[in-house]
Structures are given as C-alpha cells and as structure tokens.
C-alpha cells in the first residue's frame, strides 16, 4: 500500500514554486501576490486562511489578509471585492467560505474578477473547466489531480466513483476525471445521498474519491482489494484522549480500509495540504498571465 | 413499452408556447425574436437551421436567418456576432455548428453575449448550469430533461448511464441528471470510448442516454429489462431501399432493444424535435428576462 502523502508532496512542489519565484522575480519584478478575505470568527476558516498565508510565505509570495467582523454587510464586502479587482499589485484572491448567513454568497462569487478568481468558483472559470478549456481549477479537485499525476496513479479507462456532488469537490472532480486528459480519461460515477446499492458501486471502482463529509463512511466491505482511495473529508469527532477533546478524521474508515488499498490518502496530511498547494499554483498562473 | 414521442410532445409544448406569445404580446409588445447564423453549405446544418426557423413560425416568434458563404472570415463572423449582441430587437441567437475549419469556434462562442446565448454554449452559462444556478441550458440535454419530466420517468436514486462525454450532450446531461432536482437526483455514470466492461455498466442502469454517434451501438444484450433509453444519436446509414440512398438511425439498435425497454425514444422523432423545442423555451426565457 502506498500512502499518498500530501505533506511530503506539497513540500516538493512548494520548493519548485519557490524556485520559480526566485528565478523570475527580483529587484525589477515583484513576487506573486495573493489576498485572502476572512469574514467573522469561524475557527476552521481562521485556520484555513492562516495556512494559506503561511504557504505564501513559504514559497516567497506576497500575501494580504483582510479580516472583517461577522457584522460586515453585503455592500461592504462587495466594496472590498471591487477594490481587490482593481488593485494592479494583486494577482489573485479568495473570499473564505462559508460566509455569514446574512451575506448572499452567490452575489459575492459573481463579483470576483474571473482573472483573479484563484479559487475557480466563478461560473466563467467553472464553465471553462467543464468545457475542457484552460481555466483556474477549484483548489481541492486540482490538488487531487496533481497528486494522482505525481504519484502516477493509473486513471485511463479505470472506474472512478466520486462520493458527493458538491460544487467545491464532487462535481468538479467528476468532470476532471472524465475528460480526455492525463490524469483523467476515467469512467466516472457520481454517487450521493440518494444513490441505491452504493456498496456494489464502490466495490466496482478502481478509484474512489470520498467527499461526503461523513466521518468513517467508507467501510472495509465497500472496497475491493487494490483500490486507490482519495479521502477529501475533514470531520471532527470527539476524542477525550486528545488535548482538544476531538480529532480530525476523513470520510474513510482508514485503519481498516488501508490494508485493502493499493494507495490511500491519510487525514490529515493528504488532500488538505494539496488544496493549498493548488491554490499557490493558481496564484502563480494568475501572476504569469496578468496583462 | 412507452414510445417517448418527441414529435407529439413537442407539438403540445409548442402549442403552449404559442399561447404564451398570444397572451403576452400584441400591438404594443413585439414577439420573441430568434436569429440563426449559418456559414457555408453543410446540408445537415442547413436542415437543422431550417427546422429552427420553421419552429419559430409555428409558435409565433419572429426569426432571422443570416446565411453567409463558406469563405466568411473569422473577423467577418465576429462582426456579425457583435452586431447581434447589440441589436435591441433580438432576444437570442445561435451560430450553427460546425463552423468551417478556418474559423476558431471557441473565439466565436466566447464573443456571444451570455444573455443572448440560447444555445447555452458560453462558459458563463455552462458554468452556471454546472453549479446549479439559473442559466440557459444547452438545447439537447434540456430537451431530454423536459421529455423525462413530461413523461414522468422516475429518475430519483436511479442509475443513469451516459454514453459519451461531449460538451454538447454527454457532459451537460450527466451534470443535470446528477443534480438535486426533478428530474435528476440520479446516480450518474459517464462512460465513453475508454470505458472498460461497458456492457456490465449499461446492464446496471435503469436509464441509458446514448450520445456516442455510433449507429446501432447499444445492443440488446447490453440492456436490462425495464430500462428507459434516450437515444441522442442521428447517424446516416446506407439504405438503397430509400429514395435518398440512406436513412437515419440512432445509437441504439432500436428494433431489437425496444422489447426490453420500459420506455425508448425513436430516431428520428425522439430527441431531435425536443432539442428545437428547448431552443424555443430558451428564446422565450431570453425574451422575458430582457432588460
């Protein structure tokens, strides 16, 4: 069994990005610049944004954190977005989701300049991806594609079962895996909460990508020997033996499933760091394509 | 077995659209207006465009046919597109594909105003569809969804196998069928030329949507009893008994498969007329949403 180590692979790729920055930038050319907008005090969101900013520092990107209170209005956030769109010294930015309930997320996403949309959530980027045109790919599916590529996991003609159909992971990874590309070119099944005979379907897969958000959902008896498993879930479960009173687990019953796999991602340390690495790649791309 | 009769259903829906036009328009309000751009002399394209124009007349829409020679340049076509974008008396238009080889199709698609893109091929519309936002749906998948809805074919939790992954049919219908919607909410498998064990997969389906463009590809032994089959293929095969020397057949071996189905579309007279009906619905929508 190969452990698909997102930390190790990310370290390698981030070093590559860091070298690109050194080679390309200097006294005359400023480094790539990513901004992150964080509204409110959601602890998970704070941690994610912190990691993104840290990753920027790691590769020599400039970064800006825009932190605003939970009470920020729709119009105030739109003003921030417009400002970021117009800032010539900024290559890309993200608005960390989820947003407070009183803010219309869709309107914010639509206001982001697609050329700076390094999260790939704007319909224009999403549509380009779905149509197989060059675009910013959403960071999590892009991170998975990079991982499959670097670990040389065979995907061509394989049956890939995607658990979950979210806009952020399930739907885009299903699209990417089905395209005539490498990695990709897989037969893809999109399964979800309404799926019947799920175990039968997952057992017929050579690749399973689990993105349901249900701790330990994928059990040993749902997996055939030799399957490659990508676990996108990050779920908190109570654990009094940990200082914080909880620990993070994936959508896969890792300890029992791992013996049956050809390859598997751990949680944490699998898809998570790859997501941030993909965001760095998108920022690099925005920087290089800037007009 | 239910024959999913696209001609009959289209006649019903077109009558409904016609009534909407009568009820809404009059001396003060002009009717919805669709334009079609046809470049060159491809006989199939000529027939498609003719049918679209005829359908407009049928429901009381205004229509304009812009016919240009095969030698039309990229810049000339872009000029036409820009003109149509700016025309306040036009609600929607299509540029009939395929275009002559010397024209960059993608550049043309990107130049179409998404608000007039009643074919739903612009990335902005395609992305909105993929993200589950309101948009113009591509006409063929939209026609299939209308058909499944009107014939009340159960899709919720069913396994739907899509054969083909084109941007025009396979990919968008897979997206639509997987969404939490009615019809939709199906477990969807996207199969294609690289798929292994295809017969096993198609036999596990309750719904098969065939959009490969290979005559009589789907055979009796690939289908389980009670399957609903949507045949998107329109293929010419030689037939000396026909005056023209050929006849049109689908991707499904209709004569042998039909006995095993719960429902099936004929070719011609199934998905084809529904595609045009969907285009009329999109034009109506563009007309009503016009600012």
Which chain A positions have a beta carbon within 8 Å of B189's beta carbon? 187-190
Are B46 and B109 found together in one domain? yes
Distance CA B156, CA B136 (A): 23
Are B67 and B168 found together in one domain? no
Which chain A positions have a beta carbon within 8 Å of B182's beta carbon? none
Q: Which residues of B touch A (CB under 8 A)?
A: 106, 122-133, 135, 156-159, 165, 167, 171, 174-175, 178-180, 185-192, 194-197, 201, 204
Are A85 and A166 found together in one domain? no
- Going by pLDDT thresholds of 50, 70 and 90, the confidence category of residue A232 is very high
Average pLDDT over chain A reads 97
Phi-psi region of B239 (alpha: psi -120 to 50; beta: other; left: phi over 0): beta
The chain A residue lying nearest B131, using CA atoms, is A167
Residue A134 lies inside a defined structural domain of this protein: no
* Whether B34 contacts B52, CB under 8 Å: yes
Q: Which residue, B186, B219, B192, is CA-closest to B205?
A: B186
pLDDT > 90? residue A290: no
| pLDDT the model gives residue A118 | 97
Measure the N-to-C terminal CA separation of chain B; round to a whole number of Å: 46
- Measured between alpha carbons, how far is residue B57 from residues A20, A58, A253, B51, B289 in Å? 60, 64, 60, 10, 21
Domain span at residue B36 reads 26-115
Residue B53 lies inside a defined structural domain of this protein: yes
Which chain B positions have a beta carbon within 8 Å of A124's beta carbon? 123-124, 127
Distance CA B230, CA B251 (A): 10
H/E stretch holding A230: strand A227-231
Are A238 and A152 found together in one domain? yes
Tokens of B182: 């009615």
Is the Cβ pair A194, B187 closer than 8 Å? yes
Which chain B positions have a beta carbon within 8 Å of A133's beta carbon? 106, 123
Active-site positions of B read 52, 96, 119
Residue A12 lies inside a defined structural domain of this protein: no
Are A160 and A220 found together in one domain? yes
Is the Cβ pair B123, A124 closer than 8 Å? yes
Pick from B47, B80, B115: which residue ends a domain? B115
Distance CA B277, CA B281 (A): 6
CATH number for the domain that contains residue A81: 3.40.50.10860
Span B94-112, average pLDDT: 97
- Measured between alpha carbons, how far is residue A54 from residues A35, A58, A61, A276 in Å? 12, 6, 10, 10
Per the structure, the count of domains in chain B is 2
| pLDDT the model gives residue A199 | 97
Task: Point out the least confidently predicted range of A151-155, A157-161, B165-169, B241-245.
Answer: B241-245
Distance CA B178, CA B186 (A): 5
Q: From the list B129, B189, B197, which residue is nearest A188 (CB)?
A: B189
Give the minimum alpha-carbon distance from B120 to chain A in angstroms, rounded to a whole number.
11
Is the Cβ pair A178, B156 closer than 8 Å? no
Residue B234 lies inside a defined structural domain of this protein: yes
Are A171 and A267 found together in one domain? yes
| pLDDT the model gives residue A186 | 98
| Cβ neighbours of residue A288 closer than 8 Å, sequence gap 6 or more | none
Q: What is the β-pairing status of strands B92-95 and B33-39? A: parallel
Task: Report helix, strand or coil for B274.
Answer: helix
Let me know if B154 is exposed, middle or buried by CB neighbors in 10 A (0-12, 13-18, 19+): middle
| pLDDT the model gives residue A27 | 84
| pLDDT the model gives residue B215 | 97
Which of B181, B188, B193, B224 to probe by mutation at the A interface, max A CB count within 10 Å? B188
- Going by pLDDT thresholds of 50, 70 and 90, the confidence category of residue B26 is confident
The chain A residue lying nearest B176, using CA atoms, is A171
| pLDDT the model gives residue B109 | 97
CATH number for the domain that contains residue B207: 3.40.50.720
Give the minimum alpha-carbon distance from A289 to chain B in angstroms, rounded to a whole number.
18
CB-side neighbour CA atoms (13 Å) of B46: 8
Pick from A113, A148, A181: which residue ends a domain? A113
pLDDT digits (tens, 9 = 90+) for A165-214: 999 999 999 999 999 999 999 999 999 999 999 999 999 999 999 999 99
Residue B84 lies inside a defined structural domain of this protein: yes
Span A63-67, average pLDDT: 98
Are A218 and A165 found together in one domain? yes
Which residues are B34's β-sheet partners? Answer: B63, B92
Q: From the list B127, B186, B195, which residue is nearest A130 (CB)?
A: B127
- Going by pLDDT thresholds of 50, 70 and 90, the confidence category of residue B27 is confident
The rounded percent of chain A whose pLDDT value lies above 90 is 98
Is the Cβ pair B125, A127 closer than 8 Å? yes
Q: Which residue, A77, A35, A80, A30, is CA-closest to A53?
A: A35
pLDDT digits (tens, 9 = 90+) for B40-87: 999 999 999 999 999 999 999 999 999 999 999 999 999 999 999 999
Is the Cβ pair A127, B132 closer than 8 Å? no
| pLDDT the model gives residue A249 | 96
Q: Which residue, A60, A111, A116, A121, is CA-closest to A88?
A: A116
pLDDT > 70? residue B291: no
Count CB pairs under 8 A between chains A and B: 118
Q: From the list A123, A187, A192, which residue is nearest B133 (CB)?
A: A123
Are A61 and A156 found together in one domain? no
Is the Cβ pair B189, A194 closer than 8 Å? no
Pick from B83, B100, B115: which residue ends a domain? B115
Active site residue A96: yes
Tokens of B238: 């030689």
- Going by pLDDT thresholds of 50, 70 and 90, the confidence category of residue A35 is very high
Span B202-211, average pLDDT: 98
Q: From the list A123, A189, A195, which residue is nearest B124 (CB)?
A: A123
Residue B253 lies inside a defined structural domain of this protein: yes
DSSP one-letter code for A258 = G
Which of A115, A124, A137, A200 to probe by mutation at the B interface, max B CB count within 10 Å? A124
Is the Cβ pair A201, B187 closer than 8 Å? yes
Chain-centre distance for alpha carbon B207: 18
| pLDDT the model gives residue A291 | 67
| pLDDT the model gives residue B192 | 95
Q: Which residue, A172, A162, A98, A108, is CA-closest to A135?
A: A172
Are B268 and B174 found together in one domain? yes
Span A74-87, average pLDDT: 98
Distance CA A198, CA A97 (A): 30
Tokens of A192: 């979800």
Residue B250: what are its φ and ψ, rounded to 5°? -90, -170
Q: Which residues of A touch B (CB under 8 A)?
A: 106, 122-133, 135, 156-159, 165, 167, 171, 174-175, 178-180, 185-192, 194-197, 200-201
Which residues are A231's β-sheet partners? Answer: A210
Task: Point out the least confidently predicted range of A14-18, B154-158, B193-197.
Answer: B193-197
Count of all residues that appear for chain B in the document: 291
Residue A118 lies inside a defined structural domain of this protein: no
Which chain A positions have a beta carbon within 8 Å of B180's beta carbon? 165, 194
Residue B94: what are its φ and ψ, rounded to 5°? -125, 150
Residue B106 lies inside a defined structural domain of this protein: yes
Are B251 and B166 found together in one domain? yes
pLDDT > 90? residue B122: yes
Are B225 and B151 found together in one domain? yes
Span A66-87, average pLDDT: 98
Instruction: Give the E-state strand segments of A156-206 in sequence order.
Output: 159-163, 187-191
| pLDDT the model gives residue A182 | 96
Are B98 and B155 found together in one domain? no
Average pLDDT over chain B reads 97
The chain A residue lying nearest B206, using CA atoms, is A196
DSSP one-letter code for A99 = P
| pLDDT the model gives residue A26 | 84
Give the minimum alpha-carbon distance from B187 to chain A in angstroms, rounded to a whole number.
5
| Complex-level ipTM | 0.95
């Amino acid at each position: 069994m190969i452990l698909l180590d997102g930390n190790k692979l990310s370290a390698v790729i981030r070093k590559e990005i860091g070298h690109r920055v050194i080679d390309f930038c200097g006294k005359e050319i400023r480094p790539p610049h990513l901004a992150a907008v964080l509204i409110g005090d959601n602890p998970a969101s704070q941690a994610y944004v912190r990691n993104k900013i840290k990753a920027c520092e790691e590769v020599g990107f400039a970064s800006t954190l825009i932190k605003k209170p939970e009470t920020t209005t729709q119009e105030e956030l739109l003003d921030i977005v417009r400002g970021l769109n117009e800032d010539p010294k900024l290559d890309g930015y993200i608005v960390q989701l989820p947003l407070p309930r009183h803010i219309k997320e869709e309107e914010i996403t639509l206001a982001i300049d697609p050329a700076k949309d390094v999260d790939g959530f704007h319909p224009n980027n999403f549509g380009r991806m779905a149509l197989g045109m060059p675009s910013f790919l959403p960071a999590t599916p892009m991170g998975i594609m990079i991982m499959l590529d670097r670990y040389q996991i065979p995907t061509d003609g394989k049956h890939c079962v995607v658990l979950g159909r979210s806009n952020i992971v399930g739907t885009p990874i299903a699209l990417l895996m089905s395209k005539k590309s490498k990695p990709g070119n897989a037969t893809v099944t999109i399964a979800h909460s309404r799926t019947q005979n799920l175990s039968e379907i997952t057992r017929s897969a050579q690749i399973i990508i689990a993105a349901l958000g249900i701790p330990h959902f994928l059990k040993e008896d749902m997996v055939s020997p030799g399957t490659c498993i990508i676990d996108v879930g990050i779920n908190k479960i109570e654990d009094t033996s940990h200082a914080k009173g909880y620990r993070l687990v994936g959508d896969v019953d890792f300890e029992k499933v791992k013996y049956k796999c050809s390859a598997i991602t751990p949680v944490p340390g699998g898809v998570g760091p790859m997501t941030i690495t993909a965001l760095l790649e998108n920022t690099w791309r925005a920087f290089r394509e800037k007009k």
